[in-house]
Copies of this chain bind each other. A is one copy, B any other.
């Protein structure tokens, strides 16, 4: 149980240390016994250093080294020597330690998988033995980067006069949108706290309190059916500012991203970022989080087909729908089967069908060829800069379906064509602005807030709340990077009457609004400043910075998609006494 404490770590010795006597502590990364020589690669967070034991010179040490296997914890004392064969791939590759004494601090059973970056163990097994999986240098590096992001965040906002204030985790349940995780109260039986889906209301109240600039790196919780890129608990960089407009918040966060990219990746990104309205994003890219690293833009074709004889298109135009398409460059050779696949793909996004026009071997083929006038074809060729070998994909449906399905197809084509792969390492930031304030929920037959109920309408659209809420735009903005929404925010409502009207439009009675949000409405009566903010998804941000597409690679102890922790088997059954104390029955 005692050990010689390290004088150096396993990553820091260089040729200038030659001749020094050092003590190292660490894990056996590998062990090679060449008879006359025993080599041990000793690993810690800082690197790997080669130990050499010479049985001829130090038979006692060789004897102690006999039982040593992978992942044993050792201490080793010795002298730094120049290596005979220098390993230029390792920072410590110029030296090795000639071991004078060593011993086992803690042995290890044979691990269920090797601690290697390229490992073929199932993710299930790796999650069960997460503490071993986390020994892999590639995975450790993700957390070192995550830590740097956190550090830069703390410093940047501190330097910019933001105050980190902790908001409560045990709060009021006000489900609006997603489901809350509930926490039963023992003292007040039958009552519940909720875990925060976001500190939204609390940070607004901090603005009412006059804290002026708030930031927090904070865990949030949503009890949703999980998708592969979601976790029940996730981390936000959450900020709020007073006496500001949209431009002020955007400016602060552009500087923040610039600093992050510079300090973490050494990359200079250009600010300001482009801004795209929601409408333009949808009509050009078929997405409110467009990946602009490549073009392949969508085009509206209503004009071209204004007098078409193709009944499907004519009907679409008659019903105020949209005909649009894009050039799947170089996909002209797609077979009937492949095109059928694309049609099925488009249908998943609500499209009723997919029209295509192939330009191959200087001829044109298309199921709708007979409806196309020569003029139409020339127009299409010009709009889409068609070359031989191209494929036009066209959808006609209502505005949302046409653009959403085309946007999904655009990404699918980019993936199949290797475009996504070819733009790796490129970082295209952009702001999407002027979102609609509301979406119409067909099932509930009512308006729902596209962002959340505290988002301010654009000042110029205030009157639309009374006349045509569906047309009102929100003073909201999303930050998008390479087709991923990494955050979003808005200017909030600071006027009690507007907030009440908002709740009313969302179908809350006055009583419901007061029960849920009475404390916010009350606060707005006592001099709330104009304010707004933003929240970034830290997990996604770190995924983009580390280049992983698995969210579990950036969370130390993640859950599976069904919310299980395979390591500790939570959630688990609890003692009946615990439930009795809470006054709960299953």
Contacts and interface: CB of A to CB of B under 8 A. Distances in A.
B221 A528 contact: no
Interface string A157-177: 010000111111111110100
A505 interface: no
Contact of A571 (B188, B525, B530): B188
Interface string A495-534: 1001000000000000000000001001101111110000
B528 A106 contact: yes
A586 B530 CA distance: 42
A291 to B, nearest CB: 28
A557 B187 contact: no
A387 interface: no
A581 B181 CA distance: 11
A420 interface: no
Contacts of A210: 27, 43-45, 134-135, 140
A243 interface: yes
Given A151-B158, A573-B190, A582-B182, A526 B132 contact: yes
A314 interface: no
Interface string A67-107: 00001110000000000000000000000000000000111
A578 B315 CA distance: 44
Contact of A568 (B71, B143, B172, B184): B172
Contacts of A570: 170-173, 191, 193-194
Contact of A169 (B44, B208, B219, B462): B219
Contacts of A44: 210, 212
B462 A527 contact: no
Contacts of A498: 1
Question: Residue among A151, A168, A172, A564 with the most chain B CB within 10 A?
Answer: A168
A572 interface: yes
A188 B151 contact: no
A214 B10 CA distance: 18
A311 interface: no
B171 A135 contact: no
Given A5-B245, A181-B183, A183-B181, A73 B175 contact: no
Nearest to A585: B585
A166 B210 CA distance: 30
Interface of A: 1-3, 5-6, 9, 25, 27-28, 43-46, 71-73, 105-109, 111, 129-132, 134-135, 140, 143-144, 146-147, 150-151, 154-155, 158, 163-173, 175, 179-195, 201-202, 205-206, 208-212, 219, 221, 223, 225, 232-233, 235, 242-245, 248, 459, 462, 494-495, 498, 519, 522-523, 525-530, 555-557, 559, 562-565, 567-575, 578, 581-586
15 contacts: A1-B459, A27-B529, A73-B529, A108-B526, A131-B526, A132-B526, A168-B233, A168-B565, A170-B565, A173-B574, A175-B575, A183-B183, A192-B571, A194-B574, A202-B556
Given A131-B208, A170-B571, A182-B184, 19 more contacts: A1-B530, A5-B243, A27-B527, A129-B526, A130-B209, A134-B210, A135-B209, A140-B209, A147-B163, A147-B164, A165-B556, A166-B555, A166-B556, A171-B565, A175-B575, A180-B578, A183-B183, A187-B562, A189-B586
